[in-house]
């Protein structure tokens, strides 16, 4: 994809990850793989891990270490109450932006 997606992901990637965690607990490697599968072909692994650290420090997720059969222990993240609240705020902001953009798209053609 390229630079356009990269810039657009700023701010939304966080919401995406939180939305994933709202569905089920998950760990970094898994999330990265899932995103790549969904078409975010150029998401960098390091990006996801950094993001996870960030949302952990903000207290939006709970973490527990789970041993893996195939490698180092996994850090499994799950959304907590505060995270769910934040996610709703994210959806509100997203809706606002999406509405404005949809209006612009229609008006411009």
Partner DNA sequence: CTCACTATTCGGTGTTGCTAGGTACCAGTA
Partner DNA sequence: TACTGGTACCTAGCAACACCGAATAGTGAG
Task: Give ∠ CA 21-88-77 in degrees, rounded to 5.
Answer: 20
**53 lies in the site for DNA, by CB under 7 A:** yes
Q: How many whole angstroms from its chain centre is CA 106?
A: 29
Taking CB under 7 A as the criterion, the residue among 18, 20, 21, 28 binding DNA is: 28
SS3 82: helix
Q: Which partner from the list DNA, its own copies, none does 59 bind, CB cut-off 5 to 8 Å by kind?
A: none
Q: Which partner from the list DNA, its own copies, none does 74 bind, CB cut-off 5 to 8 Å by kind?
A: DNA
CA distance 72 to 95: 39
Query: The tokens 């793989």 sit on which residue?
Result: 33
**6 lies in the site for its own copies, by CB under 8 A:** yes
Taking CB under 7 A as the criterion, the residue among 23, 25, 39, 52 binding DNA is: 52
The beta-strand segments (E) located in 9-98 are 26-27, 61-66, 74-79
Query: The tokens 């505060």 sit on which residue?
Result: 82
Taking CB under 8 A as the criterion, the residue among 25, 40, 49, 75 binding its own copies is: 40
Residues within the interface to its own copies (CB under 8 A) = 1, 4-12, 14-16, 19-20, 22-23, 38-40, 89-91, 93-94, 96-98, 100-101, 104-105, 107-108
């Amino acid at each position: 994809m390229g630079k356009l997606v990269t810039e657009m992901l700023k701010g939304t990637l966080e919401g995406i990850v939180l939305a994933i965690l709202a569905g089920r607990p998950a760990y970094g490697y898994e999330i990265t793989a899932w995103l790549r599968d969904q078409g975010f072909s150029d998401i960098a692994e390091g990006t996801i891990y950094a993001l996870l650290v960030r949302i952990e420090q903000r207290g939006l997720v709970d973490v527990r270490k789970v041993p893996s059969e195939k490698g180092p222990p996994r850090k499994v993240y799950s959304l907590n109450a505060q995270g769910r609240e934040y996610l709703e705020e994210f959806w509100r902001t997203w809706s606002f932006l999406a509405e404005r953009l949809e209006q612009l798209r229609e008006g411009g053609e």
